[in-house]
Structure 1
Amino acid sequence: MIMRTYDAQFAASLTAARDGGIAPVYFFWVLARPRAGGAEVPIGLWSGDEDITLTLTQPDGSNVSRHYFGGVNLKVEDLTYVGDLTDNPVAVSTSQGVDAAQLLARGYDLRLAYCEIHATTMTGGAFTAAPQLQWVGIIDAGPINTPGENGEGGITYQIRSEIMWQLTARNPAKSSDAHQKRRNLIDRFCEFAAVIGSRSVQWYKKDR
């Protein structure tokens, strides 16, 4: 998740939405890992109908040119900003039968893949401003809904803030003598951890 000051034209289009209405436009960019191993591959999808290449701003403030595949029926929902540590996942969905969407969902390992969401608005067939960075996170889930006959399937990715994911993650490591010795072979802090729970020691009595 990221907070920033919006471009003046973008902010103005949001302010005027009550009177003239706006058409939101979203851009979804993922660093996907090939299933066979190797370097991460960037893949971008957007909510327009045609493929597009454009320049936008990265989280570090630098500009970059990216290619986005269109015609995937991209939708972004639950984009919420809060002032506390609430974990609010964002839902990004696409059609299932489009080649670019299929490639992303089935051709790569997306578990905990880094992703970014940009957005802008459109009036009269043109963007009101360059896409603005809305969210930085990781893909936590991506179930594929396979439809029945005459049904409509889709793919919905759950995007979580990486910071919140780290803050709420549980450490599976247990306090044991073996685990302590992985870090230091002479560490005896947990040498009796396995048996101390079964002992009943009364501090005011002396052992004989």
Structure 2
Amino acid sequence: PRISAEQMLDHIAQLKGIGNKSERKELVAALLEKVNLSKDKKKNLGGYSGGMKQRFGIAQALMGNPKLIIVDEPTAGLDPAERNRFYNLLSQIGENTIVILSTHIVEDVRTLCSDMAIICEGQLMYNGKPDTAIDEIEGKIYSKTIVKEDVSKYKGEYKIISTQLKGGQLNIRIYSDTDPGNGFIQAPVVLEDFYFSKIAEKVDVVTL
């Protein structure tokens, strides 16, 4: 934690066999510039924010000019500003490098990915494009606000894909091929609806 980003990247470059000092210096400077850490290059890594650490991790990964990068939960714990910076960084990297993103945050997928896969309990539930996924359930998502005590009754009658409790009232979203009536309103579809509709085939998604 007491070593600076610049020093650490230089050390990693040496471990990767880059022996020429001037070459290492040029490479380190380019990587820090790419991940927008140039102005903080002398700062100890222990003083970096979560987003800065994530960006530094990407700089390390890019050291060997890889064709593939795998990132796991990259935006977890980041504030909105840092999340946007990281989205922009990964999008830029994705222009020349294959980026595999492992995340439970659906917004990450919608923002960054041209293709996606949904895995639940070790089983592949979907493999395709986010836009195609949304098209599959367009017009099939309905919502209704109920008292939370009635959720068991609705759970037995409808395919509930998500619930949200607010002010003692429970908003439920269901998947249905036809208009279910009974006070349900057709809802605008978001990618999260597709995700929940798929994992609902394997696990109970009703939470209170």
- What is the TM-score with the length of structure 2 in the denominator? 0.22
Query: As a proportion of its length, which structure holds more helix?
Result: 2
Query: As a proportion of its length, which structure holds more strand?
Result: 1
Specify which structure has the bigger relative contact order, considering alpha-carbon pairs within 8 angstroms and separated by 6 or more residues: 1
Q: Which has the larger radius of gyration?
A: 1
